[in-house]
Amino acid sequence: MAKDKRRREKPVSTGSIAFRIGLSSGLNLLLIFIVLDVILFGIFVVPGISEGSGQVELIFNDINAFYEFIREWKIDIILRTEGIIVVLWVILETLKVRSKLRPLQEFADAALRLSNMDGEIEQRYQKLENAIDMLSPAEDDQKLATGDAELAGLETAVNKLMSRMRDSYRQQARFVSDASHELRTPIAVIKGYADLLDRWGKTDEKILDESIQAIRSESENMQHLVEQLLFLARGDSGRTTLNITDFDITEVMKEVCEESAMIDQKHTYLFEGEEPVPFRGDASLIKQAARILIENASKYTPEGGEIKLRSLVSDGHPAFSVQDSGIGISESDIPHIFDRFYRADDSRSKQTGGSGLGLAIAKWIVERHGGRFEVISRKDIGTRITVIFS
C-alpha cells in the first residue's frame, strides 16, 4: 500500500515527453543534413579529388592532408553550423511541445494535489464537524472557529447563516409571544363578561346589553387580529398568490379617498393627482396597503384634521403617498414602525387601539411589489409615508 501511495504521489511531468519529442525531431533534421551532405559531397567534392588516384590515398592516409582538405572545402564550418542548427531545433521543438502540453501538466498537477489531499480533507471535515457540534444555537455570542485558515471563508458563511437563523428564531418567538398577548386580552374580556352575565345578566337588562356589546366588540377585534395573523402567515409561507394586472394608481387612490371620506367623517380627506400613474401589480392588495396607511393616519390625527392622498411619479417610478396632520412619529421610532406588534407609545396605542400588525401587512404587500417606503415625520406636525415602486 505504501509503495502504491508513493507511486501515485510521484509528480507527473510533461518535460521529459517534450524533450523526447524535440530530440526525435532534431534527429530527423540531422538525418536530413547527413543525406544532403552526402549528396553535395558526391556532386562537388568527389569530381575534384578523383582526377588522380593518388590524391585520394594521400588525403585519407596523411592527417595533415586530411585537415587541409577539410579546411579547403569548409567542411568543419558546415558541420558546426549544422550541429548548432540541430541543437537549436531540439530546444525550440521541446519548448514548443512543452507549451502545448502545459494544460495537460496543470491538469495532472491538480489531479495529483486532489489525490494527495484526501486525508487532509477528511481531517478538516472532521474538525469542522466537531466545531459545529460544539455550537449552541441559543447562545448569540458563539461563533464557529476552527483555527484553519483554509476554512475561514466557510466559517464566515456558517456564522452569517447562524446569525440569520437566530434572528429568525427571535422574531418568531416574539411574534408568538405578542400574538398570544394580543389574543389574551379579548379572551379575558369575553370571559369576564360571560361571568358577569352568568351572575347578574339573567335579570338585569342593562348588564345584559352591555355584556353583549362588549363581547361582540372583542370578538370582532379578535377576528380582525386572527385574519391579520393568517394573512402574514400565508404570506411568509408563500401561499398568497398575487393577481397581477395593469391598472392606474391614480384611480385606486381616488377610490380609497372617496371610501375613507364616506366612512370617516371626523377628518377631511383630500386627493392630488394630475395624470395617470400606470402600474402592474395586484390592485386589490395595493388598495389594501393604502387603506392601512390611511387608517393609521386617521388614528393619530385629531378630529377635524386633514389627511392628504397623492399619486405621483417619483424619479420615473410610480408612487403614492399618505400625509396626515397628526401627532407625528419620533425619529427613533421611524425605523421600527413596520415591525410586527411594534408600538411607538403604549399609552397612545391604548387610546387609538389596533393590533400593531397593519403596517407590517402594508410592508409585506409593498415589498412583494418591489416597492419601498419613505417616511418623513415631525412631532405635532404630521407624517407623510410615500410608497415608491421600482
72-86 residue pLDDT tens: 656 667 777 878 888
Note the Cα 202 to chain centre separation in Å.
64
Query: How many angstroms separate the CA atoms of 273 and 254, rounded?
Result: 9
- Please provide the average confidence, as pLDDT, over all residues in the chain: 80
- Give the tens place of pLDDT for each residue, 133-190: 777 666 666 777 777 776 677 778 888 888 888 777 777 777 777 777 778 878 888 8
Q: How many CB atoms lie within 10 A of CB 86?
A: 20
Q: Are 211 and 190 in contact (CB under 8 A)?
A: no
Q: How many CB atoms lie within 10 A of CB 302?
A: 11
- Give the tens place of pLDDT for each residue, 174-215: 777 777 777 887 888 888 888 888 888 778 888 888 888 889
Query: How many angstroms separate the CA atoms of 156 and 21, rounded?
Result: 50
Query: How many angstroms separate the CA atoms of 379 and 390, rounded?
Result: 30
pTM of the model: 0.57
Grid coordinates standing for 13?
Answer: 511531468
Q: With bands split at pLDDT 50, 70 and 90, how would you rate the model's confidence at 350?
A: very low
- The 3-state DSSP class for residue 269 equals strand
pLDDT at 356 over 50: yes
Which pLDDT belongs to residue 54?
A: 47
Grid coordinates standing for 235?
Answer: 404570506
More confident residue, 262 or 344: 262
Report which of 12, 25, 21 is spatially closest to residue 98, judged by C-alpha positions: 21
- Give the tens place of pLDDT for each residue, 279-298: 999 999 999 999 999 999 99
Query: How many angstroms separate the CA atoms of 168 and 143, rounded?
Result: 17
Grid coordinates standing for 340?
Answer: 410586527
Residue 364 φ/ψ, nearest 5 degrees: -60, -45
Q: With bands split at pLDDT 50, 70 and 90, how would you rate the model's confidence at 3?
A: very low
Query: How many angstroms separate the CA atoms of 156 and 350, rounded?
Result: 44
238-242, 295-299, 328-332: the lowest-pLDDT one:
238-242
